[in-house]
A = this chain, B = another copy of it.
Amino acid sequence: MRALAERVGVTPMALYRHVKDKAALLDGMVGRLLSALVPSDAVDGQAWDERLRVLAHACRRVTQHHPWAAHLLFSRPAVTPDAVRAVDIIYTALIEAGVPESDVPRLERLISTFVIGFAASEASGRFTPGTLDPRGRRGQLPDSELPGHSGLGPWLDLPVDLTAEFEADLDDLRQLVMAVARRRD
């Protein structure tokens, strides 16, 4: 609050005339981000999987530009109008994909949890532990205790292209959605 007040060129207490709380301020900031997240024109006339893809990439783009917001997307549920609109896009896409209605809310939570989770992990550096030393993570333990790591060998030393990985993940989730749609009752 004090830093924001200085940026605005005003005393900290002046802010409380315009915002109730620090929490309310953060909620408002998240709301602004979410309103920019859904470019409804870029979604019209596209197939359901393409609409989900655009929405997911928009979510990742937001957290790349505003890393501080990544964790807030987890803490605050989708109650603001823009957040509800984003959820509705996913609902509509899943219905169009042929997912049984009883599975739609669950799959929406599965997809949004992964997408926000990926964005938050990337923003907080969870995916890039040893940017300097790629083998840093298993330095502490002997290879005999890590059969999985030693079995993978060179694949662990490659630098990861997170954009390509996100794309591959979304494609796998697309197939998951189609599999659920296929087993409709």
Interface residues of A (CB under 8 A from B): 71, 74-81, 84-85, 87-95, 101-102, 104-106, 109-110, 113-114, 116-118, 120-121, 124-130, 136-138, 140-141, 145-149, 151-153, 155-156, 160, 165, 168-169, 172-173, 175-176, 179-180
Say yes or no: B138 contacts A91, CB within 8 Å.
no
Copy number in the complex reads: 2
Task: Report how far A114 CA is from B74 CA in the complex, Å.
Answer: 12
A120: which B residues are within 8 A, CB to CB? 74, 117
Task: Report how far A173 CA is from B169 CA in the complex, Å.
Answer: 12
Say yes or no: B84 contacts A140, CB within 8 Å.
yes
A126: which B residues are within 8 A, CB to CB? 74-78
Identify 15 residue pairs between A and B in the complex whose beta-carbon atoms are under 8 Å apart, listed by A's number.
A74-B121, A77-B137, A79-B129, A84-B137, A88-B146, A88-B148, A92-B148, A92-B151, A101-B155, A104-B155, A106-B169, A113-B114, A113-B118, A117-B120, A179-B179
In the complex, given contacts A78-B137, A94-B148, what are 14 additional A-B residue pairs having Cβ atoms less than 8 angstroms apart? Answer: A71-B74, A76-B126, A81-B140, A84-B140, A87-B148, A88-B145, A95-B148, A101-B151, A101-B153, A102-B155, A105-B156, A110-B172, A113-B114, A114-B114
Residue of B81, B88, B138 touching A149 (CB-CB under 8 A): B88
Say yes or no: B105 contacts A155, CB within 8 Å.
yes
Residue of B88, B129, B156, B179 touching A147 (CB-CB under 8 A): B88
Which 5 pairs, one residue from A and one from B, show the smallest C-beta to C-beta distance? A91-B148, A117-B117, A77-B129, A92-B148, A88-B148
Task: Report how far A137 CA is from B78 CA in the complex, Å.
Answer: 7
Task: Report how far A138 CA is from B79 CA in the complex, Å.
Answer: 8
